[in-house]
Amino acid sequence: MHSLHRRTYRLLLRLHPAAFRDEFAREMELDFEEALHTYGPTRLFLDAVGSLARQWSTSISFAPPNPVSPPRSSLLAGYYVTVRDSAFTPVELGLGLIASTSQLTLCLFALSAGSGHIPDLPTVYASSNAPSPMRDNTDPETPLPTDRSSSSEFKPSQNATANLGFAIARLAEIAQPKPELLLFHPSGPLPSYEVATIKPRDPDAASNLVKLPPGGFLSPLSIRRYIMNAYGAVYAPQIVGGPDWLNKDAYLINGKIPDDLQSALQKMTREGRNDQTRMMEQSLLADRFHLKAHFETRVLPVYALVAGNSGLKMTEVPVPPESKPGDPPMRPHPGDPLPPGTLVTIPNSNGLRILNGRAIKMQLLARVIGTDIGDRPIVDHTGFNGYFNVTDLTWAPLASAGATNDSDALSLTGALKEKLGLKIVPTKVPIEILIIDGIDRPTPN
Amino acid sequence: MKSNAQQYLPLSPATLHILLALTGGELHGYGIMLEAARHSGGQYKIGPGTLYDNLKKLLAAGLVEESQREDLETGERRKFQITTLGYDVLAAEVERLSGVLRHARRSIRLAERRS
């Protein structure tokens, strides 16, 4: 039910003027979550409706006349084209309110009549006993359907109010922006390690991340990084919340993969093996750390990789062959030719970073160079969907600014512009994040 | 500065409670909501909508400023603090309300004597 409240409140927030929403919606949502128990949902919804009316009334009545209204990219993005300069009269506002309420009511009825099952509302994960994304169920007496098709037995007509509530939630779901950076969602039952040992290590090692696949062996590392890996997060802010020890404590985690799964892994593609490893890591987090978490989408600041003003300086290459089951893990040695579809960055003796890629997509390039920016990820907005080679893209990493032996070395932005004809610009996009609701220190081995 | 503070008077109840809540130090949104409820003895509760409507105005007027940006990595919330101008406005409002109270008490006493 809390998830329904949350979604409804989020819908109300999305109806606010864009400027107000960008500035305060995130905080309002957090405050709503905290105040829900003490204030109650009705009071908070009424408060949000009041705020909605005040903000629109302010922005309509007191907006300065704008003789030339620049067209905006999208109405759905929350920007509006001004069609008149004078303020609306109360009668016009009243008519507008009646018209919009009627449309909303019709939408709700259409949605509720069209939905023959309960939509998957909350997305609560991280229990290996729950093989796939499942609904949050606090009542142990009420078993959850393990198969989504079984939810079709739900009779919406039995409870009109609930149905309307779900329709509102569906509308909230539709209003949810589609994330540009996604986390990894398990596609089936979570496989488990046969045996897993978790040993505490020197906390100084917590920031290290060295992965030695296959075999489920990870170097000492922080559990936040382990969660990032298990959920396919490309940068730290995608994992939100949790206690301090997630960043500070270091553990050596070693898992033995069951023999049958090990032989199955040999027949999978590289992507398939990675997915299985992530699922085993999620299973371990649920079993041994009692991780409880849910997914959300938030609009966050990022950098966008776009074509430079002077045009792209990269040449498109043919589509590389798809990886086949049984392909060896990608671990090219220095000097070896890169397999198609791969990209490596290595530091040179001058402290510079050198990137080479063969038949890679812009998304992969954006993701890899994003690790050098640190504070924000880079998303691909170039619009180029083909495959490209990158040869010896060299730059001075931010972390070693001033510490390189090459004073003429370009920064990353300079190298992208000079060598590839690309640039990075700040923007905001929807990103999928994982909110940690609860986690314990690991159970003994 | 005082004449500058006068232009913001009278303050709405929500604005008064928000400024008053921030006199104790920087707070995030929910902290302000709790503090407002606490110092009004639970009689005045501000919801997030009312809070941020007013914070938007207070930030624009320079009576409140942001003291900390939200940090998603550490989970730190966005925090706000009262400015010097905010203190001046609050002091001026309290003085104005004191005058109103004095006048109200006197009027009530006179009315009681007449009856």
Residues of chain B neighbouring A240 (CB-CB closer than 8 A): 72, 75
> Coil, strand, or helix at residue B79?
strand
Q: What tokens were used for A428?
A: 């905001």
Q: Which of B53, B54, B70, B76 to mutate to test the interface with A (most CBs of A within 10 A)?
A: B53
B78 touching A (Cβ < 8 Å)? yes
> Domain containing B88: what range?
2-114
Distance from CA of A62 to the nearest CA of B (A): 14
Between A70-84, A96-110, B94-108, the lowest mean confidence (pLDDT) is in A70-84
Query: pLDDT tens across A288-319, in order?
Result: 999 999 988 888 888 889 988 888 888 888 88
Smallest CA–CA distance, residue B17 to chain A, in Å, is: 16
What mean pLDDT value characterizes chain A?
A: 73
Nearest Cα residue to A216 out of A192, A188, A236: A192
CB–CB of B53 and A55 under 8 A? Answer: yes
Contact A27 B47 (CB under 8 A): no
**Cα atoms found within 13 Å of the Cα of residue A429, Cβ hemisphere only:** 21
CA distance B78 to chain A (A): 8
B38 vs A: CB within 8 A: no
- Which range, of A95-99, A212-216, A279-283, averages the lowest pLDDT? A212-216
Answer yes or no: do A31 and B29 touch at CB < 8 A: yes
Quick: pLDDT tens for B19-69: 999 998 899 999 999 999 888 888 888 999 999 999 999 999 999 998 877
Residue of B nearest to A29 (CA): B48
Closest-approach residue (CA) in chain B for A224: B73
User: What chain B residue is nearest to A13 in terms of C-alpha separation?
Assistant: B49
Three-state DSSP at B66 gives strand
For testing contact with chain A, the best of B26, B27, B30 (most A CBs within 10 A): B30
Is B90 at the interface with chain A, CB within 8 A? no
B77 touching A (Cβ < 8 Å): yes
pTM above 0.80, yes or no: no
Cβ-Cβ contacts under 8 Å, B45 against chain A = 39, 43
Contact A35 B47 (CB under 8 A): yes
State the pLDDT at residue B54: 94
Between A398-402, B54-58, B84-88, B94-98, the lowest mean confidence (pLDDT) is in A398-402
Contact A45, B45 (CB under 8 A): no
Domain chopping of chain A, boundaries: 2-142+150-175, 195-298+433-438, 312-320+335-420
Name the residue facing B52 among A27, A34, A300 (closest C-beta).
A27
CA distance linking residue A141 with residue A154, whole number of Å: 18
The total domain count for chain B is 1
| Chain B CA closest to residue A20 | B56
Q: Do A24 and B55 touch (CB under 8 A)?
A: yes
Report the CATH number that the domain containing residue B94 is assigned in CATH: 1.10.10.10
Is B52 in Cβ contact with A28 (below 8 Å)? yes
Task: Please determine, for residue A157, whether its predicted confidence score (pLDDT) is greater than 50.
Answer: no
Residue A143 has pLDDT above 60, yes or no: no
Residue of A nearest to B80 (CA): A27
Q: Which of B28, B52, B59, B66 to mutate to test the interface with A (most CBs of A within 10 A)?
A: B52
